[in-house]
Amino acid sequence: MPHTNTKSHEIANILRTEILRQQYRSGERMPSERDLASRFDASRGAVREALSQLEQLGLINTQPGGARVRDIESASIAILGPLMELQDTPDPNLVDQFIRTFGALAATTAREALEKATPEQLNRMQKMVVSLSNYNGDSDSKHAQWTEFFQYLGSVADNLVVRLISNDLQAQFVEQMAELDLKSAPARKKQNVNQVLGLVRQGLSGKDAELFFSGIQLYFDELRFSVVEELEARLGSYQKKQVNKKDIKPIVSSSTSTREDLGVVA
């Protein structure tokens, strides 16, 4: 039984990738269970379970006579991660949309948190912002501080729907982005960071929910600009390298040129 379950997931993952790569077009009929069982050397039960998983993702619709591929817009949020894994470097437009959406949810959460906060909770928020303002350590630790701050805002806002959506988005996104090692991404300008913290501090001290909202929104705008700029640079360098590959002479060190083209900082 565990083997069947593993096999069905393996089949589902391969078919999911093929659908996302548009090897099967919207409206197109999927191969029959018999043909898929033969292709993957699996039982029809394992194939049927794999198709059921794809249907749960909203990628196919099972009908009498077979399954047909659905429009990608009909799929569930669970395909975001696999979509970003289709290429070594995720589509900058997709990443832009993700950060923009997540930022809107975070800003909404911040506004609700400020409106609901008790004096004790408000005091803790202010201390966390002071800590963020004074911190001069490495970027990973500062990111952890911001994450802790947003998590606290979420607990104060206590909006279950937003938290569940945010959890799903994070699960689809954070791991993939961490694997990219974007430490060479352009750092946000200090005056922009100060502007973010200034808006957040003013919003907290005056209990101005809209000002607080604007500060959090600006934080994610700055993050979005930085990450997307780095991704576009990586993709641009890769495409340029592919176009010019035939012009590279054998005496040129490919390892060195690749590192420079990709903008990797030693």
Residue 245, pLDDT > 70, answer: no
Q: How many CB atoms lie within 10 A of CB 259?
A: 13
Classify 233 as helix, strand or coil: helix
Residue 93 and residue 217 in one domain: yes
Domain match, 92 and 64 both = no
The pLDDT-based confidence of 137 (bands split at 50, 70, 90) is low
Q: Which domain holds residue 17?
A: 2-75
Q: What is the pLDDT of residue 115?
A: 94
Q: Note whether 27 and 103 are same-domain residues.
A: no
Co-location of 70 and 85 in the same domain: no
The pTM of the full predicted model, rounded to 2 decimals, is 0.75
pLDDT at 145 over 70: yes
Report yes or no: 176 and 91 within 8 Å, Cβ to Cβ.
Answer: no
Q: Is residue 249 part of a domain?
A: no
Between the alpha carbon of residue 120 and those of residues 117, 132, 156, 243, the distances in Å are 8, 19, 11, 59
Residue 212 contacts residue 111 (beta carbons within 8 Å): yes
* Residue 234: band (very low, low, confident or very high) from pLDDT cuts 50, 70, 90: confident
- Report pLDDT digits (tens) over 69-128: 999 999 998 898 899 888 888 889 999 999 999 999 999 999 999 999 999 999 999 999
What pLDDT score does 119 carry? Answer: 95
Same domain, 122 and 67: no
Report the distance separating Cα 89 and Cα 52, nearest Å.
30
**Vertex 232 angle, CA 226 and 237, to 5°:** 130
Domain containing residue 170: CATH number: 1.20.120
Is 100 in the same domain as 230? Answer: yes
Give the chain's radius of gyration (CA, Å): 23
Within this chain, do residues 91 and 67 fall inside the same structural domain, yes or no? no
Could you tell me if residue 264 is inside a domain?
A: no
Segment 238-245 mean pLDDT:
47
At 170 the pLDDT is 81
pLDDT-derived band at 255 (thresholds 50, 70, 90) equals: very low
Whether 157 is in a domain gets the answer yes
CATH at 71: 1.10.10.10
The answer to whether position 184 is within a domain reads: yes
Terminal-to-terminal C-alpha distance of the chain: 48
